Chains A and B, each alone.
Chain A
Amino acid sequence: MTSKYQALPKGVSEARFDAAIKKFSAALGADQVLTSAEHLRPYTKVMMAVPDARHQPSAVVTATSVEQVQAVVKICNEYKIPVWTISTGRNFGYGSAAPVERGQIVLDLKKMNKILHIDPELCTALVEPGVTYQMLYDYIEEHKLPLMLSFSAPSAIAGPVGNTMDRGVGYTPYGEHFLMQCGMELVLANGDVLRTGMGGVKGDKAWQVFKWGYGPTLDGMFTQSNYGICTKMGFWLMPKPPVFKPFEIKFDHEADINEIVEMLRPLRIANIIPNAVVIAGTLWEAATCGVRRSDYITEPGATPDSVLAQIRKDKHLGAWNVYCALYGSPEQVEVNWKIVTETIKRAGKGKIVTQEEAGDTQPFKYRAQLMSGVPNLQEFGLYNWRGGGGSMWFAPVSQARGSECDKQYALAKKILNKHGLDYVGEFIVGWRDMHHVIDVLYDRSSEEETKRANACFNELLDEFEQEGYAVYRVNTAFQERVANSYGPVKRSVERKIKRALDPNGILSPGKSGINI
């Protein structure tokens, strides 16, 4: 059956949707309600190995205030319209701006983009969802504040609210972003406005400095979930250190991963190296410094090891390339640098590259920028490795043990190569964990390759689960599948909470597999 809309919400007739659209227009202004194919097209552009149509929104509405968000929620309840909320919509590896299910309307909060407060003494910030890291960076620079940001790689155009709500990570000592979050404001499905932590106390000034408040601490349940719409978020900023010393350690062999992790873990846990260390594989490095697969090989399928070796040689890359930084006073950095260099010397392998030696070469330059809170867009080079617009991030976590990383790397490479795709991955070292991030890159303009990529992603999930691993985050096409990895009891609890808070199931139904 044809409709004048690009899609309709599940179970909602066109006439009913007409009425809802009319109400959205009255509440928000007609210019904040979009239904045309030309406006919805960029909201539908996904990089996942499934048809676009599965993620086609029916409309996009934008809000400029908490009151307008409340109005949207009210109309959605009245007409049973599911609403998928985005802040900047730049969650590229995990679903972009498109909704998890066809027909949902998108609530785009890009226009709620006020930096509400930055306290340079307490080193805290309070922002709206549309604020990007670039906006924050510009503000900090303009006001000459002695503060440093932490962000994910799409830094300039992504934002702290979306990244933190999806439990994204960055590359500075404040890289575990949810850990640095302090205070949220949320519009609930019934229109109530909840402030977490100290935010509910009249006259309180500690909202952005004391996370826990009183009674149950609720912030975590609103991340990677669909229990509320975050309209403000507080977080901590790192004081800009007097000395920042980035460095790289290159390792020649893939088999070195075990020793690398065993060597770095004690330094990381003891905060000798305080930032989220990255251990990047050859192809991640190559792609981010402008190498394309077609520069070396035109045959389809997995890139042979001989080609990887040639790329390493040509571009002076390691099989593993470790990026770390030291922060602090000159004395602190000097002491820690001595500990780091002696540790590497003792290991008998690994070549240290300092900033002075690297100069402005990529990928060192952008890595140093990420570790020092300077936004850039260099990592988008990944999408040019194969080209064709296909990208799905597979992100299993593990203990920070060499044996675990070795095992995960071997398993991932075997499965990817079996499906004719490449291992383009990195490990991000948390305090005690590893986020193993693999970009499953494929040519989405090829139907055959897209099918292979889909099969590959399913096999990665299945085989890793067999070995006791699960991903910490996944794109919208696989969220229902991944929810099962965490067991039926968790799913049941999540559903009960959903039914209690959102009885009509209007807020992002299907997000993380959560439905009423």
Chain B
Amino acid sequence: MDPALVKLALGGVALLACIGLFFGIGLALAAHKFAVETDPLIEEVLESLAGAQCGGCGYPGCEGYAIAVVTDPDVPPNLCYPGKEKVAERVAELTGKKMAEIEDMIALVRCSRPEGRVSHKHEYIGFASCTAANLGFGGPSACQYACIGLGECAQACPFDAITMVDGFPAVNPDKCVSCGTCVKTCPKQIMVLQSLKARVYVPCSTKDIGKKVKEVCEVGCISCQICVKKCPAEAVRQDNGLIQIDQQKCLDYGPSCEEICVEKCPRDIFRRYDGRQVIRRHPENGLKMAG
């Protein structure tokens, strides 16, 4: 090989090495001088979180929560919903906070539009989003509290736990981590988080009086309040037209009431719940409702 060529090649390599060394030292010095002080604890907490960036904790991403839980003594350690108990324990251990009991929750659809055969009051033409459809006279459904069915919750769910089946959301209990994104997204506020231990559940969100409900829906709650009167634990109440169940009171009372609320409901909208599925009293009358 021509020695001149070798010389040229070596010269090039040497020059590049010199440039590399110069900038390397420069960067090293800069990194040292301008280093941002980070609490190693934040890093550690961040690593222990589920890392789904779901925002269920209410902070902007996992890092936001990590900073908050380390720096703010009032932020509880059990807000990482996808991480469940394991992550909460680890965060509590790292931050030295007292670990409150974490309750396994799941998102449920508080509407039975397909079962109730709720008709459409108008045809919606426009941007296919529930919030947009809701701006036009409360959406196309004849019941103003019913699911609109354009799947904004399914799109928003960071865990793909919601699928739209015939224009109605179905929650996959295996995928749902109860982050609450759907609850915040739904313009009709029919997505709710419910404890997996809950025994009963009302899949209807109407606040209308009985007459109006009967006009539009075959199963919707008609505010007869039989459940409120019959519950021996006084766990059922009607709040602003909406049936609410105090799950703690219900669980504390135990199964001896034999779910009289479910048995006595004239609309069969008070349902038993086994942690995975809402069960109708007379399943032969209709399909089981997923999630």
Partners in one complex: no
Q: Which residues of B contact A (CB under 8 A)?
A: none
Q: Which residues of A contact B (CB under 8 A)?
A: none
